Amino acid sequence: MKNFNFLLVVVFMFSANFLSANNNPDSRQNSIFEALATPDSATRATVKIYQDKRIEQLLVAKESANLSQEQTMSGFRVQVFSSNTQRTAKTEAFKIEKQLLEEYPEQGVYVNYISPFWKVRVGDFKTQTEAQAFRKLLIDAFPDLRTATYVVREQILVSGKK
């Protein structure tokens, strides 16, 4: 019964905190630790957490990293590899990624696994024309990739690289 009462208090605190945050858009977003330490308006109950301070620092850092995530938009990348050969595709994808990063360190190189395919895509191009121009550079630098290289539409990073 004690556990049930505690659970009700915690659920009530979270829902009350959520509702009050939604009603006041100008209010600063509290961390989960600040929210739990704030006395509940109805019962004046608080939650005390005994833990290493580094855990709180990690969670706060993760929250701020999520807030400063890079923006994405619809754009284009150049796909240079796609394979579903179980024994070699993964190794080949990472080998190609390494080669591309050495040749074009300023471009983002993205290795994706979407079952059953391993794919390697390069760049964050806003227009298809930019992607086609880079595709020609890739083919000149890596003629072996000619048959597997083409432009694809994908969500790209607007600010920064991978």
- Reported as a single tens digit per residue, the pLDDT across 105-162 is 999 999 999 999 999 999 999 999 999 999 999 999 999 888 989 999 999 988 644 4
Claim to verify: residue 46 and residue 108 sit in the same structural domain: no
Averaged pLDDT score across all residues of the chain: 82
Claim to verify: residue 100 and residue 125 sit in the same structural domain: yes
Claim to verify: residue 87 and residue 153 sit in the same structural domain: yes
Final residue of a structural domain among 67, 96, 120: 67
CB-based contact 153:76 (threshold 8 Å): yes
Claim to verify: residue 82 and residue 7 sit in the same structural domain: no
Claim to verify: residue 79 and residue 61 sit in the same structural domain: no
Q: What is the pLDDT of residues 33-53, one digit of tens each?
A: 677 778 888 888 888 777 777
CATH value at residue 111: 3.30.70.1070
Claim to verify: residue 122 and residue 153 sit in the same structural domain: yes
Final residue of a structural domain among 44, 67, 90: 67
Q: Which domain holds residue 111?
A: 72-157
Say how many domains are in the chain.
2
The amino acid that residue 36 corresponds to is L
CB-based contact 125:113 (threshold 8 Å): no
Answer positive or negative: Cα dihedral of 54, 55, 60, 66.
positive
Claim to verify: residue 151 and residue 76 sit in the same structural domain: yes
Determine the pLDDT at residue 62.
Answer: 73
Answer positive or negative: Cα dihedral of 70, 72, 75, 76.
positive
Q: How confident is the model at residue 101 (pLDDT cuts 50, 70, 90)?
A: very high
Claim to verify: residue 23 and residue 89 sit in the same structural domain: no
